[in-house]
Structure 1
Amino acid sequence: MMKKHFLFVCTLLLIGFQTIAQTYTTPNTGVTWTLNDIASASPSTITFSGTDFTLLENLIIAENDTILIDSNIDLGVEDGLLITVFGTFNVTADEVSIFGIDQMSFEGFRFEENSEINIQNTTIEYSGGLRVLTETFSIDNCTLTNNTEGATTSAVIQLSRGIPQITNNTITFNQLAAIGSAANADVSANISNNYLEGNNQSNSNRPQINLGTTRNDAPLIIDQNTIVGDVNLDMVGGIAVANFIGGSINAEISNNTIRDNRYGITILGNNAVVNITNNIIEDNNTQGDPLLGGSGISLNTSSPGMDVITTGNEIRRNLWGITLIGEASINLGDGTSDSPGENIFSENGNNGDVFALYNNTGNTIEAKNNCWVEGVPNDLSTAEEVIFHQVDDATLGEVLFDPVNCEFLGLADQNLAAFILYPNPANNKINFSNTPGFTTLSLFNLQGKMVLSEEISVDSNEINFNLTSGVYFARFSNDATTVVRKLIIE
């Protein structure tokens, strides 16, 4: 009986060992490896047929070695596997796909400190995210979608240090936030010209871009991104940059379109030097509770030391336009060339009241030369009606908003504000008011793939198409500006 029991235990142990994935590590000899090279050296690690590759074991790139993908390939990765890079990971081909087999998520990527990472033109789907521990990281013109928790636990791209470059990517419908860093990471990323939509499908209390402290010698740059929320998620914000640990924030947030999130932009903590310029911040109200969120821009700190200049933004249809909490301070226009004002507010309100600016602090706020109610003549009484400050509560600081000014709105701005797309839902045709003079229309599906691109003349106002029913995004653009609208096709 003892022998049978021992045999049974050994059998269980053998079965358990067989389910543990093996690991292949490159030999650390300073060699550049392709996937074909690894398949030849270790057939149990990678198999392939033509341009279709399968990773069967965990893969480690040693610190002196390089993996190069310079030809178009598809790489399927078995469930639970991890790709770890101590050396160099370089993807330069025109079209690469790395995905979890049978839509089962593999563990993802771990890029160790001092590794060198360059990923271009790559779709990464059904992974556990990219854990970026290195300073030398660049990802460009890639698509990240349907990724889950694994190598990362808070964002699809989780940053730790340096000045990483995240440019021209499509990051959509992932379980976690799109881009994040730890509270004390001191990361000054360049996050530019990306399309983000529907990230943080887990609906945790995180924005799509969720960053901590930055470096002092280089600003965090968040520029020319489109950040669209999923209206079914009530806890997901647009952008947050926070200092909770005694560090500092040095940031430039400019030329972004932020729409349909719980809130637009929030800056938390002191020692914050931030320029927020020329953003379109609209309809960030998915939670619907003004006591918990819904601001176009929210600043919150318990200690003095916040230097935020806000100019040229268009802030519309949020539950609040701008909210200031604690010891927060903002410069919305002081009459100088560095802070001209020229922010536009429209229909930011809740419970029947409009709040373009809510100064819930004791600080005096400069806010000159702004257009407080878009589309109507503005005077001081117009502004007073939508600004909450000392006049409304004697314990609060005063907002200095004289003069008000809507004259800076040029013809192009007015045309852009009036742009409409119809019908929506549509069948096989859409019409649009092309007074802004758009020259290109691109349609994207929910996975961020372009399904239609049409050149349009300045006098065009109709496009025909033949697409399956579903939700799409229509991007109208010219050399000067871009507008994105959600389009439902029946």
Structure 2
Amino acid sequence: MKHFTILLLVLFLSSATVIAQTYTTPNTGVDWTLADIANASPSTISISGTEFTLQENLVIAENDKLRIDTDATVLIEQALLITVFGEFEVTADETMFLAADTSLPYEGFRFEEFSVITIQNATIKNGGGLRVLTEDFTINNCIITENVEGGITTGAVISLSRGTPQITNNQITFNELPAISSAANSQVSATISGNYIEGNNTLNANRPQINLGTTSTTEDLQIINNIIIGDPLHTEAGGIAIANLVGGTIRAVISGNEIRDNRYGITILGGNATVEISNNVIEDNNTQGNPNLGGSGINVNSPSSTIEINAFSNQIRRNLWGITLQDEASINLGDTASNVGANVFSENGNNGEIFALYNNTANTISALNNCWIEGVDNTLVLAESVIFHQQDDPTLGEVLFDPVSCKLLDVTENTLESFAFYPNPTKNTLNFATDFSIQSVEIFSTNGVSVFNETIVENQNKVRFHLSSGMYFVLFTSNDNQIVRKLLVD
């Protein structure tokens, strides 16, 4: 009997060590800091200088606020969760949310509906992601890296549910799940802008790095000015997908992005969609290597004609397919009214053939004023050779591509052959090399504000600056040319 009692005690104590307690703020309208919570409940948070260790689940009640406005490192013990019903405001210059033991990830963050969330200048690492159930969510200039599956999110490291969340100027890299997602019927019209997104979906599931469902009927989803880089080892990970599978609406603008080295570039799936795809560089999205399963720079697949896709001024190179259309899908690639065309295609092909545009539908496609084979004088015969449509299969719709044009790239392409800048990402220096003279270097924030401008003297090939980490645009100006490039500052 004595041995049995001791065994029960041991089992009880073992169980107790893995059942986390929860501290909930008192819901009295208090503006809390981490130190305030530590003073109120030492068992919840311990302090060592600017290092805070979370030892219990933490809940911020509906009428309370947690404010982090001074630099801090928050170490979170295994499987713990931060849940917010009220406000969560992180505005310090540097805040770190890390696992107390990197081999024992924490559960993550859950932001309940109607909570108010602002997170800036933070690093979020080794946890289970951010489940965003609120309409009022902003995350800016943060590093979100090496987070794991099995925590609070299932679709992506940032999982959205509603409203118009703002995801801007962040580095989202090498997480086990995709970078950003929303549910099929969630009606999210996020602004996803100025982010550097690389190598997410390290579990190599059949998901893109940005994977979104339906949107608001009145507000556009905006995916603009991001860099989205895949990892060739993750052959199932795509670039961007927006899908309407539940009878909702898609309103979206996808513009100014660089999308490289994914399984595919951009996919629009489903009907009732109005989408602008413009000024993107979509290159080398061919990592899976199977043209029967993907590899398009842009793919549109719709079961109905209730779809309006306008694509212009995109550069589409070295994908397994340039643009593919399936089922009842349609796309406007240039017309005589509002779409300038000006899409550029180069070396999109598989099995020894080039496919700039594959119209696998019965629809007639307008595709005027595009450059179908980059680097040469285009003719109608050359354009025909890289477009698959009614001329190749009488059951398919025709592509109207006369006139063709590559004029917009003449100066730029010759200029780019002799231009390079590095490093990127950088901290506070930028080198450039060119066969022509640069007169000035100007850096802009993603909202167009000039934050650095320097006149370049003869033989100068470097500039120094001091900017906050985030995404910027650099304008290099010479006598005859202007070159704009995206720049990531660490």
With structure 2 as the length reference, what TM-score do the two structures score? 0.88
Residue 432 of structure 1: CA displacement? Answer: 4.2
Residue 440 of structure 1: CA displacement? Answer: 7.6
1:179-218 to structure 2, matched below 5 A, reads 179-218=180-219
SS at match of 1:53: strand
Query: What's the counterpart of residue 477 of structure 1?
Result: 474
Alpha carbons 2:164, 2:190 under 8 Å: kept: yes
Distance 1:483 1:36, change over 3 A: closer
1:89-111 superposed Cα distances (whole Å, 9 cap, x missing partner):
00111111111123131100000
Which of 99-108 and 35-44 deviates more? 99-108
1:60-85 superposed Cα distances (whole Å, 9 cap, x missing partner):
00000000000011111111110000
Alignment RMSD: 2.8
Which residue type is aligned with residue 475 of structure 2?
Answer: N
Alpha carbons 2:214, 2:250 under 8 Å: kept: yes
Residue 154 of structure 1: CA displacement? Answer: 1.6
Residue 6 of structure 1: CA displacement? Answer: 4.5
Query: What's the counterpart of residue 272 of structure 1?
Result: 273
Alpha carbons 1:439, 1:476 under 8 Å: kept: no
Distance 1:332 1:418, change over 3 A: farther
1:379-402 superposed Cα distances (whole Å, 9 cap, x missing partner):
100100000000000010000001
Alpha carbons 1:434, 1:458 under 8 Å: kept: no
Residue 49 of structure 1: CA displacement? Answer: 1.6
Residue 475 of structure 1: CA displacement? Answer: 9.4
Distance 1:431 1:69, change over 3 A: closer
SS at match of 2:38: helix
Alpha carbons 1:227, 1:238 under 8 Å: kept: yes
Alpha carbons 2:194, 2:472 under 8 Å: kept: no
Structure 2 distance, partners of 1:459, 1:286, is: 43
Residue 412 of structure 1: CA displacement? Answer: 3.3
SS at match of 1:274: strand
Residue 419 of structure 1: CA displacement? Answer: 4.4
1:233-252 to structure 2, matched below 5 A, reads 233-252=234-253
Structure 1 distance, partners of 2:360, 2:437, is: 38
1:25 aligns with 2:28: no
Residue 409 of structure 1: CA displacement? Answer: 2.6
SS at match of 2:275: strand
Alpha carbons 2:419, 2:432 under 8 Å: kept: no
1:105 aligns with 2:105: yes
Q: Return 5+ residue gaps in structure 2 as ranges.
A: 424-429, 444-451, 464-470, 477-482
Distance 1:151 1:418, change over 3 A: farther
Alpha carbons 1:165, 1:190 under 8 Å: kept: yes
1:284-333 superposed Cα distances (whole Å, 9 cap, x missing partner):
01001111111000001122211100000000011100000111100000
SS at match of 1:14: helix
Distance 1:63 1:483, change over 3 A: closer
Residue 434 of structure 1: CA displacement? Answer: 6.3
SS at match of 1:340: coil
Structure 2 distance, partners of 1:125, 1:484, is: 23
Distance 1:67 1:421, change over 3 A: closer
Which of 95-104 and 402-411 deviates more? 402-411
SS at match of 2:37: helix
Alpha carbons 1:28, 1:62 under 8 Å: kept: yes
1:114-149 superposed Cα distances (whole Å, 9 cap, x missing partner):
100000010111110000000000000001011112
1:351-383 superposed Cα distances (whole Å, 9 cap, x missing partner):
110000000011000000000001000010010
Query: What's the counterpart of residue 301 of structure 1?
Result: 302
Structure 2 distance, partners of 1:484, 1:64, is: 40
Alpha carbons 1:183, 1:212 under 8 Å: kept: yes
1:350 aligns with 2:350: yes
Q: Return 5+ residue gaps in structure 1 as ranges.
A: 424-428, 442-452, 465-473, 486-490
Residue 231 of structure 1: CA displacement? Answer: 1.4
Query: What's the counterpart of residue 449 of structure 2?
Result: none
Structure 1 distance, partners of 2:457, 2:289, is: 38
Alpha carbons 1:434, 1:459 under 8 Å: kept: no
Query: What's the counterpart of residue 325 of structure 1?
Result: 326
Flag as ranges the 4+ runs of structure 1 deviating above 6 A.
453-456, 458-464
Structure 2 distance, partners of 1:373, 1:314, is: 11
SS at match of 1:76: strand
1:453-490 superposed Cα distances (whole Å, 9 cap, x missing partner):
998949769679xxxxxxxxx998327621579xxxxx
SS at match of 1:9: helix
Structure 1 distance, partners of 2:356, 2:420, is: 24
1:124 aligns with 2:124: yes
Distance 1:215 1:179, change over 3 A: same
Structure 2 distance, partners of 1:318, 1:16, is: 53
Distance 1:162 1:430, change over 3 A: closer
Structure 1 distance, partners of 2:372, 2:24, is: 61
Structure 1 distance, partners of 2:386, 2:171, is: 37
Which residue type is aligned with residue 482 of structure 1?
Answer: R
Structure 2 distance, partners of 1:81, 1:454, is: 46
1:187-245 superposed Cα distances (whole Å, 9 cap, x missing partner):
00000000001011011011110000000110000000000111111000110000001
Structure 2 distance, partners of 1:365, 1:268, is: 18
With structure 1 as the length reference, what TM-score do the two structures score? 0.88
1:367 aligns with 2:367: yes
Alpha carbons 1:416, 1:435 under 8 Å: kept: no
Aligned pair count reads: 462
Distance 1:435 1:107, change over 3 A: farther
Alpha carbons 1:335, 1:369 under 8 Å: kept: no
Structure 2 distance, partners of 1:174, 1:306, is: 33
Structure 2 distance, partners of 1:121, 1:94, is: 6
SS at match of 1:217: coil
Query: What's the counterpart of residue 229 of structure 1?
Result: 230
Alpha carbons 1:434, 1:460 under 8 Å: kept: no
Which residue type is aligned with residue 170 of structure 1?
Answer: Q
Query: What's the counterpart of residue 393 of structure 1?
Result: 393
1:165 aligns with 2:162: no
Give identity over the alignment, percent: 59
Query: What's the counterpart of residue 447 of structure 1?
Result: none
Alpha carbons 2:143, 2:170 under 8 Å: kept: yes
